Structure 1
Amino acid sequence: MSWTLRRLSALVAAVVTLAASTTLANRVLPGWAYPVCGLVAALVLVGLGRFAGCTWTDLGLSRLRRPALAGLAGAGLVAVVFGIALAVPALRTVYQDGRVGDPDLGQLLWLTCGRILFGTVLIEEVAFRGVLPGLFGATDDRWRWPPILWSAALFGLWHALPALAIGRNAAVHAVFGSTPVVVLQVLAMAAAGVAGIFLHWWRHLGRGVLASVIVHFTTNAGGLTLAVLVR
């Protein structure tokens, strides 16, 4: 891939957009604006990708059927893993999370279909499995580690602020106990980076971002719903 001034400028602007978005969403804006911030940032990132010369295929936004099928297959695997965790009493602490609270049905729908879908999944998949890999030179015809690893590393950094609350999960607390918050934050960011590679594999398998969107949404929304049900 040959770097041009336009592509480099778009990459810098994309990183700045993401930094501003996560800061606004986690530290400045009221809760109702969280998904709005994510949606606006996703649109800006797509515009930057197109400005840099990326095609819709480069951005993972040119197909629907194959990505949808791959994503649904991934969602089924996630459901199986969730079912195993529910069936094994020792694993149920994974769902005991102090961040969940006690939402009613309306609040749960808002959290899953509002905050998670638009404020988390959409922006993260468009950014880290679509635009950034495209800017770094990823292609659908073959797996290329450098752009995937760069995108995954940025995905880990993206979780710097949310990772500060990771210790409130019962399973994490049981394993790491009195581990300093900063250490837990770094570990959570590293785990997010690994998850980013896994999600990119689904995007690559489905030849489109919709595949990783479905898997990501099933994981986050399903995990939250189960945490509410088994609390």
Structure 2
Amino acid sequence: MLAGALVHRLLASRRQTVTCAARSRLPLVAAQVDHPPNVLLVLLDDAGAGDAGFLGHPLLRTPHMDDFFRSAISFSHAYAGAPNCSPSRASLLTGRMPFRTGVYDFLSKRSGNMHMAGVETIASVLRSAGYQTVHLGKWHLSRPGLGIGFPPSHFGFEHSNDTYAPASQLVSSFTGWLASGRRERTPFFAYLALWEPHEPVQLWSPVEYQRLYAPTEKRREHDDAFALDS
């Protein structure tokens, strides 16, 4: 999973570049910037650290991700807080290791009452700085039907749509929120947590993706690339 414990590094610059602010230096929060930047955090589920063209993968072609990379901010020395789903998500949102967040395994019916408790998230920090906050996609830090954990609204998100829907639907939901749910002149923090390329990978990538690969290369490679880059 591509994740980084970056919660305590807030975007603060009139030119909308990155200034690193430790937790003890919160006067640098975006509320004090003339034009705070919008923040879009996109999470790919179970993508490897090198699984993209711009990261130097020898086989995978990911032109859309490459374009996004060139226009985005890259943290090349960020690491996942854990090797599986729920703990790394908790670390991403809080900047804390699993033994500090209270989430140390993926949530399931066998998880007991394991959940984030008494921790601050990037959403709550930015919301207190005047940001509008929205979560769309996979949450996996609570199981409402089993009484495990708390929903996104408990951790600073004003709006949330906890769903395992395909990326195309999530992007449509996000653009719809931008058109009708966003408050004008208010900076936003949007956490777009995609399911792709988590297994099972759908093995029917479009012809244009198949053409990116030589006939001798395994079909699964372009299916994986499509899941990553679609």
Same fold (TM over 0.5): no
Of Structure 1 and Structure 2, which has the larger fraction of its residues in helix?
1
Q: Which has the higher contact order (CA 8 A, sep 6+)?
A: 1
Of Structure 1 and Structure 2, which has the larger fraction of its residues in strand?
2
The normalised TM-score by structure 1 is 0.29
The normalised TM-score by structure 2 is 0.29
